[in-house]
Amino acid sequence: MITRIEIDGFKTFTRFSADLKPFVAVIGPNASGKSNLFDALKFLSKLAQTDVRQAMQDLRGEPRELFRQTSRGIQSKMTFALEALLPKQGTDDFGAKFETPAQRIRYEIQIEMKNQPQGIFVTHEDCRIIKGEDDKISFRLPSKVSRSSRKNSFLETETDGYGSPRVFTIRQDGLAASGTSKRGSPLQLPASEASRSALSTIATSEFRHLYALKKLITGTQFLEINPTAARKENDRFEEKKLREDASNLAACLSEMQRKSSTENRPSGAISDISADLSTLITQVKHVRVLDDEKSREYAFEVELRDGTSFSSRVISDGTIRLLALLTLINDPDRQGILCFEEPENGVHEGRIPDLIEILRDATETQDAHGDFFQVLMNTHSPAVMRVLKSEEVLYADTIRTIADDGVSETRTRMRSVAPDRTLFDDEHHLYHAKIEELLRKKSGGI
């Protein structure tokens, strides 16, 4: 899971930082930067998979528009830092199992827009352990964290005598087939005109900590459910990991049932989805997966308590949204991070406490690999705010400031709920009642 994020020079962020827990709700009015935080996480996920240009094309806006704008013009650099809690162990894409002796690591990356040579490049990357004495994780972990005395970075940028990037140095830290440490000569990649991140080149557990980090970042799921697409039947060759728009929902439900079904529980995890859905929509009794052997397609329907059943074609948008969310939450193979906007859509206000409890429960325990399932959601609903714990809230707003040199800027900030009045700081904290007041204002307030 990600325990801290720092952003500077991306969209509305300047010198921004936020400490994250397994369950976090970013709350604030429209145009306050809530979605920009998700965009930053999406950009980092793409940077760990592909080149910079493609990563930017997958976001809202032109590449140039992603760099921060001030009254003096466009900022030429954007930097990101993540602090992560890695799982204790894992398996790479080739089936090799690995362990991570250092679960706490920090990753940094800088993207720069240049005129000579013209283009957008990765100009800095670094990944290293977080020492115990330097670790400021913002919540208490249920189990001991594995740490390492390693001194060398897993990944660092070496520069020439003038400070310009020369090479990215990547150090092996995995195990050979014999079980002995595999530490050959460091891999070095040219960094003067890097069009992609060094992290994106990691493919095996020979670089086990970097591989675990890459898997964490790229495993982030962004749910922006399209009810029309989610209703459709799926063929048997459809991808089985839920897509961002949930267009393969039927295939995912079928796969979950296949993998979790037992003799005593033939519906497997579908029974858990049905139970959660009936908690939120009391008329619902059961979700049923339909497997048509003739057409070789997957579909689903919802049975109500009065015995009537409705196919996915006529189920309401709200029910479809909740079903897609609960499918991801109840997936036995769920992992990584879920980013979800406006979870209250389609839910009766009286059922919102039940929904938040379902989401919270999904994040409260570590799995067998020592990993958390993390949920980050954003909302502007006072009804959601009322049922959140103070430590789960970040309040987002947009403020305009003028520096000593006369430069004006608009930036996003996120404030936590003050634990008590003695620790109150207006730049970093708000009170619970004040947030509800701001949410009720039409303008959102600052």
Mean residue pLDDT of the chain comes to 89
pLDDT value at 184 more than 70: no
Alpha-carbon distances of 117 from 195, 198, 268, rounded to whole Å: 12, 20, 56
pLDDT (tens digit per residue) in 379-431? 988 889 889 998 999 999 888 877 777 777 788 999 988 766 666 667 778 87
Long-range residue pairs from 60-68, CB within 8 A, at least 24 positions apart, any chain: 63/120, 64/113, 66/10, 66/11, 67/9, 67/10, 67/113, 68/8, 68/9, 68/10, 68/11, 68/12, 68/13, 68/14, 68/409
pLDDT in tens, 96-114: 999 999 999 999 999 999 9
> Mean pLDDT across the stretch 118-143?
91
DSSP letters for 304-349: ETTS-EEETTTS-HHHHHHHHHHHHHT-TT--SEEEEE-TTTTS-G
User: What pLDDT score was predicted for residue 149?
Assistant: 87
- Give the model's pLDDT for residue 444: 42
Say if residue 180's pLDDT is above 70.
no
Q: What's the average model confidence in pLDDT over 3-29?
A: 94
Residue of higher predicted confidence among 33 and 153: 153
Q: How many CA atoms lie within 13 A of 80 on its CB side?
A: 23
Distance from C-alpha of 417 to C-alpha of 156, rounded to nearest angstrom: 36
